[in-house]
Amino acid sequence: MTTPHSFAPAVPVHTYERIVDQIEQAIVSGEIPVGSQLASERDLMVQFGVSRPTVREALRILQSMGLLESRPGTRGGPVVLSPSSKALSRSFRAMIGTDALDIADLMEYRVVLEGTASKLAALRHDDVSLARLRAAIERMEREAEGNADSFADADLEFHEAIWAASGNEVLRMSGQAVSGALRGIMQRDAEGEHHDNRVKLASAKIDRGLFEAIASRDAALASRIARRAVADRFAPLLGDEGRRALEALAE
């Protein structure tokens, strides 16, 4: 009996994509350590048996992925980088810009991320991470009172402190990446429709409550405050379906 199934046409893989795959795998597996230099373009041409333009295209893609960095004055090939939230943030922004990723998807993910990170921060924080959180929330409050333009930076510092206190590196990197992709929206949200500081004061008040929940190790409350804060912040920017999704995630 023949199993009914439809296959997509086979698509030829470009040579440079095969080079990208091999080098990426070598970096991810640790075969090529972080901080080391890749072979020179000439050596790569010989090893892969391809032309210089093909090698350069592969290296360009690997650099855009945040895996390699060319440094002036170094001999040999580009330097292998450690995983970076900046590269992930660039990918998010690129996908949003090309409509490959709906911005609502990132907002929904941000609700889940903040709730989880805040819960873990409440459970795992130590004296050092708590001191960083306290300093960050106090800075937020000062800048909200003064209606400072740098309030958004203070807000980001507070959330970065939460991601770090969670003890989960994936959450920390994801948080930085998502916030980087949404930074413009967050800045406009902090400013609001007015030139006064009412939005900033309200945000600082909410985050003060979040800090207190984390400090008292109330994981459930911290998670609930964080989810609700993100959902309330971004819901007005979405349509009815998007708002319902954020509301469900905030529960």
Residue 3 lies in a domain: no
Q: Nearest-CA neighbor of 204 among 135, 117, 245, 143?
A: 143
pTM of the model: 0.69
Cα separation, 128 vs 70, in Å, equals 36
What is the domain-level CATH number for residue 232?
A: 1.20.120.530
State which residues form the domain around 224: 86-250
What is the domain-level CATH number for residue 24?
A: 1.10.10.10
Same structural domain, 65 and 156: no
Same structural domain, 68 and 168: no
**Which of 66-80, 180-194, 223-237: highest mean pLDDT?**
223-237
Same structural domain, 110 and 203: yes
- Report helix, strand and coil shares of the chain as percent, to nearest 5: 70, 0, 30
Q: Considering 80, 100, 133, which residue would you say is the last residue of a domain? A: 80
Q: Considering 57, 80, 103, which residue would you say is the last residue of a domain? A: 80
Same structural domain, 131 and 73: no
* Tally of CB atoms within 10 A around 237: 15
Residue 10 lies in a domain: no
* Tally of CB atoms within 10 A around 194: 8
Helix and strand numbers, DSSP H then E, in the chain: 12, 2
Average pLDDT of the chain is 85
Same structural domain, 76 and 92: no
Residue 2 lies in a domain: no
Q: Nearest-CA neighbor of 238 among 250, 246, 230?
A: 246
Same structural domain, 76 and 106: no
Q: Which residues, in sequence order, are CB contacts of 15 under 8 Å at separation 6+?
A: 48, 50, 54
Q: Three-state DSSP class for 92? A: helix
55 in Cβ contact with 14 (< 8 Å): no
Same structural domain, 109 and 164: yes
**Which pLDDT tens digit goes with each residue over 170-229?**
898 888 888 877 776 666 655 555 567 888 999 999 999 999 999 999 999 999 999 999
Average pLDDT over residues 141-155: 92
